[in-house]
Structure 1
Amino acid sequence: MDDTSHAEQARIWLANIAHNNQVITRAMDKGDISLLNYKDFNDVSPGFTSFPELLNYEGYDYGWSCIWAVAEEELLYEIFEQNKLWGLKDKDDRVLLSPQFDEFYSFGPQDLAVVSKNGKYGYVHTIGRIAIPLIWEDAFDFEYSGVAVVTLQTKSGLIDTKGREITPLVYDELDTIGDGSYFNAKKESYWGVIDASGQVVIGFEHADMVETGYGFYYTQTNGQKSQKIYNEFFNYLGEFPIDSVENLDNGLILIKPYKGLNSSLLYKKDGTLLDSGFEKVNRQTNFNDLLVIRKDKKHGAISRKNESYVLPCEYDAILDIRARVNGGISDIALIHQADKKGVYDGNPIRPSWLIPLGNYEQILWLYETVFALQKNQMWGIVNAANNNMSSFEFDLVVQKPNEDGFAYAFKDDKVYTVSENAIAPANKSAALEHAGEDYAYYFEYEIRKRLLAYGKGLSTISEQVTDELSTAYDLCVKAIAASNNKDYAKSIYYDTLAAEKGYALSMNNLAHIYYNIQGFIDDDKAFYWYEKGAMAGNENAMNGLGMCYKHGIGTPVNIENALFWLNKAADAQLALAYNNLGDLYSENLLLPFDPDKALQYYQAAAALGEPENNWLGYLYDLKGDYEKALKYYQLGADEGIDISFYNLGIFHLNGLGTSKNVTKAIDNFKLSLNRGYHQANIDLALIYRNEKGFNDEQKVQQHIDAARAAGLQIPEDLLVKKKGWFGF
């Protein structure tokens, strides 16, 4: 965990969310999509450079892909069959190659396709000529790297698009790695790796083929739990358990502690050790280049690009304050050292201190290289780019929507707008707008109160006394109303007052917000208020406290305590607690899988009107009571549960609890697929491959491709060595 306090993290997250909401709202109000400039957003994924690119990412299903989809390219050729032989036509139906081939596979990225005749294989070009004679016993598609695997007299090698041998045909097996730039090669019973030029990059000394991890490669070590690890440049690192290896990008590989290794290792691109003996990498930072390391309870920073330390491990904390420069994520970090704070720019081209360590109580990033500094409880503003600094005269500085400036500075009853060029009295109409409820997500209540007072020319008078005199019940009612309006800041305000008066329902409501609501999540506070509410007798708080002990939220995982509090809530007839107990015995994580106990708890929840239909179906399925299982799967499907549709497909396909009906099976698999359950692609492919009357090889391939894109393992009986053979 980051050393930054939860309150500080929440403040930064809220400010970024509020800023992004402003950008989106402005575009919606004006009906102008061009205003969604990706560079205007704070704390967004660095993997994208534009908003359309973000929305078109396959992992996001916002419906924009159809708007931005590129028109499908018209093919200039057609593979056709005549008298059980295959040929090639152009788009105008002119024959380019007469039907003469026994097999004709899809054209690849080099405009070449594998063909066979009388048991011999070669390649043809889309223009209608035989590009490589049919002399091979076997041949495979050309890769993007411009090479293909061919076999002759049981030995394999690589050829180029002219048919010239890149390597001798000496390999027993050749299998593509990734995009075809590298190949697993087997020679004399041992595996190694060659590149597309035939150069050996991993020697032939392994009993098993080399496998691909994320940013690294590995191969099994006989009888050992560890594997031989190579980085993405095929430099050997050593033998480590596969789950201890992590790619940190820019070629850096982290080896995390495991049994036998008490501290972490960090390797460079060339395979040499950059550092060892450190405790962890800070996961709460999102710098472009900087990598924050904790060693001997001190922090340092490594430039991933330069593969060296730019800050030694001697600082109390190195924090990401989400500073953006020129519209992008930066390497600007807040540095803590004893009672001093400073700002360091880890830009790998010119790393430097923007604000040297000094006796500052707080430092806030405002805009580009502009920061607010607090000293002796007062704030000043500095532009680190030109060292232009105000005096420490403000009692509060906060970020604001970047319209006519990027921050507000408060001094007594006055409010100033901070821009790149000036600190000037704030526009009163803008202050009044920002004091309104529409900006409750952006500004805290006290700030809105000060903005409102300034906008109307009034002095700041707190209304907290009135609230303090309200009953706990009235405060809770106001909190619930605020929560229903998604004004969680106000809900927390009222519920905290009520909870401090001993009101158990408000304790639970507070814990619920700190446990669940994005932007307000605080594990310690969630546990604190659930525990207080449980002790005060609230059954929902008992359930929440049990879930805290289950998941380790604000406390170490403790299954005994989780069972105690969940059972206490269940004894109070809380259906949710029964379902959570059912989950515990179903997950096979903290407790061994016990289907009988799980079923008992799920049935109790169902009796209280909150059934977990898919789980009930699954447990009856395990018992072989297919009719009851089918009933609950159908109820789950009626609720729109993706896996319930999938299970209905399995039941209809295999005639479990009902008669076999392949059409219904297909319909349910498709409904499951439409809801994002990608496993259904495998079952649909099997149906279109194996079920009589439903055979459709084109659909088989479509579903195999979709399953592979979703990262699923394709069953062996669905795989064919040559891909894209029309008609088979």
Structure 2
Amino acid sequence: MSHRTYLYNINTPSVAENADTMMMEWGYEMPLMLQPLLIDSGFISGNNYNNHVEFNDSGLYYNAKPGLENLKRFYNFLEAQPDLIKNSEKFKEAKDKLFNYLDQLDGSYFHLDMWDVLNMEDKPHAEQAKDWLATIAHNNQVITMAMDSGDVSLLNYKELKDVSPAFNSFSDLLNYEDYDYGWTCIDSSEEEKLPYEIFEENELWGLKDKDSSVLLSPQFDEFYSFGPEDLAVVSKNGKYGYVDTTGRITVPLTWDDAFDFEYSGFAVVVSEEKKGLINTKGGQVVPFIYDDLNTLNEGNYFNARIAELWGTIDPSGKVVIAVEHENEIQAAYGFYHIEVAGQKNQKIFNEFFKYLGEFPLKAVENLHEGLLLIKPHKGTKFNSIYKKDGTRLDSGFEFDLVVRKPTEDGFAYAFKEDKVYTVSEIAIRPTNKAVALKHTGEDYVYYFEYETRKRLLVYGKGKKMDDQQIRDELSETYTLFDYGEQAFDTEDYGKAIYYYTIAAEKGHAPSMNNLAHTYYTVNGFKDDDKAFFWFNKSAVKGNDGSMNGLGMCYKYGVGCQADMEKALYWLNKAAEAQLALANNNLGDIYSEEGLLPFNPEKALAYYQAAAALGEPKYNWLGYLYDLKAEYEKALECYRLSAEEGNEISAFNFGILTSKGLGTEKNNEVAIKYFELSLTLGYPNAHIELAKIYRNEKGFQDEKKVEHHLKEARAAELEIPEELIKKKGWFGF
């Protein structure tokens, strides 16, 4: 039978009960995504099910409730890292299914049964179980530190123990399509009733269909679970064979022992103390000459032992690793290795079983489809790349760092001092600097470690950089943007430009906009060309603030030739994006009589739109309503504008009130607003006040008239003829 791990939700450790729920059946490991379930009060006791070998009966148990809470916390933490998850919709779907499933569990404990996996080593199960307790505790410590700090970068895959070698990073594992964000690990078969039932009667086992009709009467001493080929091992009177889910005995019970069929369609069976392979029809495909046969790589190959020596065969019986090794061959991601007695180095074969040599296991890494990297280790300071035929890929010199890369152009980067090379199956060539810079970006922060991104950055920039510059360049754009905002707010404009520029060069549109705004407005840092350049870059990326800024550049000829048509185009784009400022700027253009687009109706419409968006220009709204003789609206806008400190609006409110337009004539209120206009700095109000104090009954006061006329002359205002002579004076 193949090596599997099982996870159960149970109530009573070491005692099988009908209420037990099998949550997971998984190959060779405890999946990392479910390890947060195993967080509280881990202990070792006998297995609930795989307990027929008393001296090797050691299962792991954990309290269920804290584990459920911890796993939900873990998934919620991951969901809060949008850059980590490649398909947010599928992640949420998987998370919801997982949470719903877990909410149905009511057992007090989680029970991890690794009996099959622990059989792979000669070490006692009890000792291996202790090792797994420590491993799971370590991995949960790494996960908890990441959650407590809110820092997903702490989920460093290299810090985790006994995780799948098929991945180089946590992101790779999490986003692996067939993994379905952890949901694939759950055995949710109870949701779909199996079309059969294995049942016991009088200590014998049989098979029923989904309607409880008997397919096989109770006759077997043992009846194992159905495997990948829908075949189950059964035994009777010490002989083993196979049945299928329809109740047909497909392989007669003639073998001394039998093991589950692998996904490859082959199974190990025993005859007269020798092992061989059969196919699903029971036909012998490998002769019974081996003292042991163990599955390797999910049954695509098998480790074979004769006497005390091991080798590897394929399902046809062809020997791919000679039967001459003292230790069993082990599979890793993209290669195979064999321990050598008394040595730290191991014999390394690539996935095509080509022998490379003896190296420390930690120095070996699969780069791409059978190409292996041998990293620096004792006796060598350099990296070497081995081709599929087992020979070295010759570059003419040694590399000090080699890392895997996205495979759109080659499969690895090789570093030599300040140079970077791209490695393909047939060649090593200098890396395009633009591509190197692309791979320093945020989309690749989970793909490359910091040291790799650092070297790619310096190479791509083509210049020396100090550590602080490198850290800043490799910071996430939103962090750089925040630094720029803080510097701008404290008027440290040089530093703001520094941070905005780094983020802008990474393609961050808000940083482009703020950088352009700084060059456009801040004295001492104004630069028309740079303002236009960054407004244009950001506007093209869809930033509404930059669309507005670019429109204003075209209006005034900042960094470009003035072009009213282009100004209107970009301002309208920003206005369509519901930017109030752009609507007000369009209102300004259409209300300016000296400009060709002058159109008070359009101006009013844009000002109204800006007001609806929360940024009213009450002074212009009042003026345009005034032109349309909509005096009540004009008065309201003038009043609101005056309250905001606009001196002309206060003046205009006084004019309408003194004339009784839009309201009853009220000289007292008019005087109040004319005086407010004076206070706010508009001297023309002196003329209007002089008129009231000269002409309006109940308010006539020549001293006040003379005072306001004196102030008007001091402001070099033209005095109306009607105010030059006192009323009733006929002298010359």
Structure whose CA Rg is larger: 2
TM-score over 0.5 for the alignment?
no
Higher RCO (Cα < 8 Å, 6 or more apart): 1
Q: From the two aligned structures, give the one with the greater helix fraction.
A: 2
What TM-score does the superposition give when structure 2 sets the normalisation length? 0.40
